[in-house]
Every structure is written in C-alpha cells, then in structure tokens.
Chains A and B, each alone.
Chain A
Amino acid sequence: MVIIITTAIFIHFQFDRDSYNEWKIEQPESDSPIRYETTNLVGENPIGDQKLKLSDWRIASLYFSYLKFIAILILNYLIITQFGRVLKSVRKLKTFHQTNVEAFRKIGYYCLLITGLSTFNYWAFNDYTKSSFSISINILLLSLIAFILAEIFKEGNNLMEENKLTI
C-alpha cells in the first residue's frame, strides 16, 4: 500500500511539479558515527533556512531516492515476512526447525542489503546539494544478531535431530 501511494506521488510529481510548490522537507541529517559528507549551498538560500522546496528536487536525485526507498521498503517487508514465519513455527512448537535457520539467515542478508543501500545518500535540489556516505551501525548490528541466531537455531536443530534419532 505504501509502495503504491509513494509510486503514485512519484509519478504525479514528475507530471505536475507545480502542485508541490508548497511542500517542503527538512534538510537531510545523518546521525551515523561513521560518515563522510559534502554539502553545497548555491544561490540565495540562507544557511539558517532548513526547509527545502520539493519542487526544486532534481530528477537524478529524485529517482535515486525513490528507488532506494522502494528497495528498502521491500526488504523491510521481506524481513517482517520471515520473522512472521519464525513466530508461526514457534507457535506450532517447531522452533528448532531448519526453516527457521534459513529464515534468520535471510533476515541477516536483508539487513546487510539495507545497510548497503543506506550507505550512500544523494540529495540534489536547485540550491542545495548533499552527498553523504554513512554506515548504519544499528542495522549492521541487527544483521549480526540475525546471523548469530541462525547459528544458535542450527545447533538447536542438530540437537533436536540427534534426540529424535536416539532410540
């Protein structure tokens, strides 16, 4: 639903930019401790003015941000789906099943992909340009936890199989 709404706004924005003259967004900020960024202010935009006009958004940056946002949204959906599967199997008392090992591994890879996608930011407006390279520690940590959980569940699955085959 969010993807459809975003895509609809994205398409409409390209056909009729003037409708978005009143729409303003905050200057993008990165709170990652590991980052490198360059900012350029052009023209009459005073430094104190933190708002950016949406209609000034340049097409390359717009496409970049849109595709990145959609990809992250899809990955988040996939993570939630995998997590839902794990919860379902726990309810069915099949906690240490091989499918859960795979689910946690997938979650780990998806988190790594999200980290990769959020590494580079490119914001280009008519009077403001910002490129930044930052690593999102939180998601990277989540991916690490998911991989550790996958290994724990793998060990649990081995023990369960061994117990099942002990006569």
Chain B
Amino acid sequence: MPILINLDKILEERDMKSNELAERIGITQANLSILKTGKAKAVRFSTLEALCKELNCQPGDLLEFSEET
C-alpha cells in the first residue's frame, strides 16, 4: 500500500513501547502490529484521534504517502 504509517519512528522519538501505546489508546497489541506493518486496510478516526493525543502529534506525522511501495 502506498500509505505508510510512521509509528515506529514516532514511538522511538517518544521513547515509548508499542505495548504501552496499545494499552493507552485501548486497542490490542495485535491490532497495533497490523497498523505498524501496513497490513491495515483502514484506520478509524477515533483510533487516529487517540494516537495523535497519546503521541502528541498531527495525523500528517503518522501517515505518509509514497508511490514506490
């Protein structure tokens, strides 16, 4: 998919573990893994809102468009 999720990068910047983030935004680790690996077909606004709130960032920081992939 040409839409990339920069979760790994942001988590590293915030020095946060993915299981901690999953717990904070109320989704399972499996679902967060789907999101991180780019297997997700859609992201709910509520999930995006929770991610932005916890990571203190904008949706544009999380999502990236790349034609190459």
Name A residues whose Cβ lies closer than 8 Å to a Cβ of B: 161-162, 165-167
Contact = CB atoms under 8 A, between A and B. Distances in A.
Nearest to B5: A167
B58 interface: no
A141 B34 CA distance: 43
Quick one: which of B31, B34, B41, B44 has the most chain A CB within 10 A?
A: B41
Contacts of A165: 34, 39-42
B39 A166 contact: no
Contacts of A162: 41-42
Interface of B: 27, 31-32, 34-35, 39-44, 47
A165 to B, nearest CB: 4
A162 to B, nearest CB: 5
A162 B44 CA distance: 12
A43 B32 CA distance: 84
Contacts of B39: 165
Output the residue of A161, A162, A166 with the most chain B CB within 10 A.
A166
Most buried by B among A162, A165, A166, A167: A167
A108 B35 CA distance: 38
A166 B32 CA distance: 11
A96 to B, nearest CB: 16
Top 5 nearest A-B pairs (CB, nearest first) are A165-B41, A166-B42, A167-B35, A167-B40, A167-B31
Given A165-B39, A167-B34, 11 more contacts: A161-B41, A165-B34, A165-B40, A165-B41, A165-B42, A166-B42, A166-B43, A167-B31, A167-B32, A167-B42, A167-B47
Nearest to B27: A167
B18 to A, nearest CB: 13
A141 B39 CA distance: 40
Contacts of B31: 167
Nearest to B25: A167
Nearest to A166: B42
A161 B34 CA distance: 13
